[in-house]
């Protein structure tokens, strides 16, 4: 299977530049398939009511340029829609804050929530994880759909691009079921289940300013300077992962699951990239997400998942006690939070029930529910991201300088300048990283040895080592822990005594 991906440089969200670059990317991708349906649905990424400069949502200028491309083909009515992770206030506020509402005024399109047209239960023999999914009727019935995704990192799935964007066509209850599994692989399979129901005809990825770090909501905007287009979501995501610095994009579970089902290329040679060379794609010092188990070989990943832990932790000073975290938790692990008229209590995470999906972190509007890395996770993160490959050797990742222009109530990025510096001198840092990975493998092998010696399950041995690291080196448990997890601390303490 040969898939074409068109890529074009785009240094800013200047309307003229975006329109020109998008047209070029689409042309390089072989053009959009003919539109035979009377109307067109653009499935945007409108995860939360965030201003465009936060890089959480598909930029409105990219959406406007897509509308322009559709209009070049014919005068089709266009509808732009998504289901956010949670309706914080109202659909109008979501559209207004993301800048998408303005497109209804200036481009004559309609905007709204995907769920507004109702939901339909779908089941398929090709599902690997889901037995049934409740999906937007509007999306299922759309004769022509363009997927307008955003390049972001994701604390749970590593990256968020074209395939992950289709997760938003399901309703909240289906998404909670997907998230309720502690297994990343099962989540990835569930996302691909949803994608496989009805893949959009064409895919566009907004990578002008993407998100690095702990995305998809609370990462850092990162200037990248590309627009991508193609008929294969997996191929576009593959190129995006290469930009993010993944040498083998199939180490990302969603991409691997999609490739295994034949939904796109299974090797790089099956992608024809037009508009750039592969070697110039990786963005210097791009900070990947905290999904660190990807660093380990497959046979050690189960082990690593127990050892390297990223859990939600409340930062009270940022919490506005809105209660959203409790509502999005798929396993009801957040209790005693604000409810009804009682808005005085802070949410409390039940560590025993928590499956570490980090949905609460993702949907918290203020970032108060932080993604806390334990010591092995911090060690792994510093090993992986602390040394940024660059032409001059190892140095910290450059901080992007962004300038913004305010139009009405919306602030849009208007920064000029080069998108990023290419880098080919990766060898010294790569060998250093490889050496340090060996240290992490040593952690895992220690757990196996402990399990064999004490005749216990490997997961328990991992837990012991994990906990010993936290207690022995961090010295946090046993008094210094936050009030909201005090009960669990005592349980941990009792366990340590035993
Ligand atoms: S942690 Fe975040 S989502 Fe939860 S109540 Fe506080 S502000 Fe709201
Ligand atoms: S508390 Fe947060 S991380 Fe844990 S299961 Fe609930 S939403 Fe997921």
3-state secondary structure 167-202: HHHECHHHHHHHHCCCCHHHHHHHHHHHHHHCCCCE
Give the pLDDT of residue 129.
92
Regarding the beta carbon of 319 and ligand 1, being less than 6 Å apart is answered: yes
Give the pLDDT of residue 281.
95
- Of the candidates 46, 43, 94, 42, the one whose C-alpha atom is nearest the C-alpha of residue 68 is 42
Give the pLDDT of residue 143.
95
Regarding the beta carbon of 339 and ligand 1, being less than 6 Å apart is answered: no
Q: Which helix (H) or strand (E) holds 110?
A: strand 110-113
Regarding the beta carbon of 322 and ligand 1, being less than 6 Å apart is answered: yes
Ligand 1 atom with the shortest distance to the CA of 322:
8
CB 49 within 8 A of CB 88: yes
CA of 337 to the centre of ligand 1 (A): 9
What is the pLDDT tens value at each position of the chain, 498 positions in all? 799 999 999 999 999 999 999 999 999 999 999 999 999 999 999 999 999 999 999 999 999 999 999 999 999 999 999 988 765 568 888 999 999 999 998 899 999 999 888 999 999 999 999 999 999 999 999 999 999 999 999 988 999 999 999 999 999 889 989 988 767 889 999 999 999 999 999 999 999 999 999 899 999 999 999 999 999 999 999 999 999 999 999 989 999 999 999 999 999 999 999 999 999 999 988 998 866 565 665 556 666 666 777 899 999 999 999 888 998 898 999 986 555 545 568 999 999 889 888 999 999 999 999 998 888 777 777 766 554 433 333 333 344 444 444 444 444 444 444 444 333 334 445 556 665 666 677 777 777 877 787 777 777 777 676 666 554 443 333 322 223 323 333 333 333 333
- The CA distance from 366 to 147, in Å, is 28
Fold for the domain defined by 311-373: Alpha-Beta Plaits (3.30.70)
CA of 36 to the centre of ligand 2 (A): 43
CA of 365 to the centre of ligand 1 (A): 7
CA of 362 to the centre of ligand 2 (A): 10
Give the pLDDT of residue 468.
63
Contacting residues for 116 by C-beta, under 8 A, at least 6 apart: 81, 91, 138
| Torsion 273-275-280-284 (CA) sign | negative
DSSP label at 279?
G
- The CA distance from 143 to 140, in Å, is 8
- The CA distance from 487 to 350, in Å, is 9
- CATH 3.40.50.11440 applies to domain 3-287: yes
Give the pLDDT of residue 306.
65
Regarding the beta carbon of 200 and ligand 1, being less than 6 Å apart is answered: no
Q: What share of the chain is helix, strand, coil (3-state, %, to 5)?
A: 40, 20, 40
Rounded to two decimals, the pTM is: 0.77
Ligand 1 atom with the shortest distance to the CA of 337:
5
DSSP secondary structure of 222-264: EEEEEEEEES-HHHHHHHHHHHTT-SSGGGSHHHHHHHHTTSS
Contacting residues for 20 by C-beta, under 8 A, at least 6 apart: none
Residues composing the chain: 498
Residue 266: φ, ψ to 5°:
-115, -5
Q: Which two tokens stand for residue 404?
A: 């913004």
Regarding the beta carbon of 368 and ligand 1, being less than 6 Å apart is answered: yes
Residues contacting ligand 2 via CB (< 6 Å): 312, 329, 331, 333-334, 349, 354-360
**Structural domain boundaries in the chain:** 3-287, 296-309+375-396+425-498, 311-373
3-class secondary-structure state, position 411: strand
CA of 198 to the centre of ligand 2 (A): 29
């Amino acid at each position: 299977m040969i898939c074409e991906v068109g890529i074009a440089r785009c240094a800013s969200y200047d309307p003229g530049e975006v329109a020109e670059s998008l047209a070029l990317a689409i042309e390089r991708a072989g053009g959009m398939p003919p539109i035979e349906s009377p109307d067109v649905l653009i499935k945007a990424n409108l995860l939360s009511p965030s201003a465009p400069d936060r890089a959480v949502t598909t930029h409105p200028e990219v959406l406007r340029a897509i509308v322009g491309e559709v209009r070049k083909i014919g005068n089709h009515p266009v509808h732009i829609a998504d289901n956010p992770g949670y309706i914080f206030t109202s659909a109008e506020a979501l559209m207004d804050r993301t800048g998408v509402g303005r497109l209804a005024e200036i481009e004559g399109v309609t905007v709204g929530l995907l769920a507004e047209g109702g939901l339909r239960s779908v089941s398929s023999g090709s599902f690997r994880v889901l037995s049934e999914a409740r999906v937007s009727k509007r999306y299922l019935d759309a004769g022509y759909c363009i997927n307008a995704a955003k390049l972001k990192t994701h604390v749970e799935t590593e990256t968020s691009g074209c395939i992950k964007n289709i997760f938003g066509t399901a309703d909240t209850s289906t998404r909670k079921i997907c998230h309720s599994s502690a297994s990343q692989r099962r989540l990835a399979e569930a996302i691909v289940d949803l994608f496989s129901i009805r893949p959009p005809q064409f895919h566009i990825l907004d990578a002008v300013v993407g998100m690095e770090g702990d995305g998809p909501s609370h990462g850092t905007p990162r200037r990248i300077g590309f627009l991508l287009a193609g008929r294969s979501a997996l191929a576009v995501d593959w190129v995006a992962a290469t930009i993010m610095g993944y040498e083998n994009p199939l180490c990302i579970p969603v991409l691997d699951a999609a490739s295994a089902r034949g939904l796109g290329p299974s090797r790089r040679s099956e992608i024809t990239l037009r508009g750039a060379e592969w070697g110039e794609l990786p963005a210097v010092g791009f900070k990947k997400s905290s999904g660190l188990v990807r660093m380990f070989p497959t046979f050690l990943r189960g082990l690593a998942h127990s050892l390297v832990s990223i859990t939600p932790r409340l930062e009270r000073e940022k919490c506005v006690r809105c209660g959203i975290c409790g509502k999005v938790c798929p396993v009801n692990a957040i209790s005693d939070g604000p409810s009804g008229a009682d808005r005085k209590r802070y949410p409390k995470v039940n560590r025993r029930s928590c499956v570490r999906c980090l949905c609460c972190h993702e949907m918290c509007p203020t970032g108060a529910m932080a993604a806390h890395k334990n010591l092995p996770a911090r060690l792994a993160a510093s090993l992986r991201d602390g040394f940024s490959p660059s032409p001059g050797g190892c140095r910290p990742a450059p901080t992007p300088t962004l300038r913004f222009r305010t139009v009405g109530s919306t602030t849009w990025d208007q920064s000029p300048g080069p998108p990023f510096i290419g880098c080919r001198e990766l060898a010294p840092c790569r060998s250093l990283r490889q050496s340090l990975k060996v240290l992490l493998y040593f952690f895992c092998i220690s757990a196996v040895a402990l399990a064999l010696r004490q005749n216990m399950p490997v997961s328990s041995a991992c837990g012991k080592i994990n906990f010993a690291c936290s207690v022995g080196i961090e010295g946090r448990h046993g008094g210094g822990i936050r009030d909201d997890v005090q009960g669990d601390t005592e349980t941990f303490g009792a366990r340590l005594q035993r």
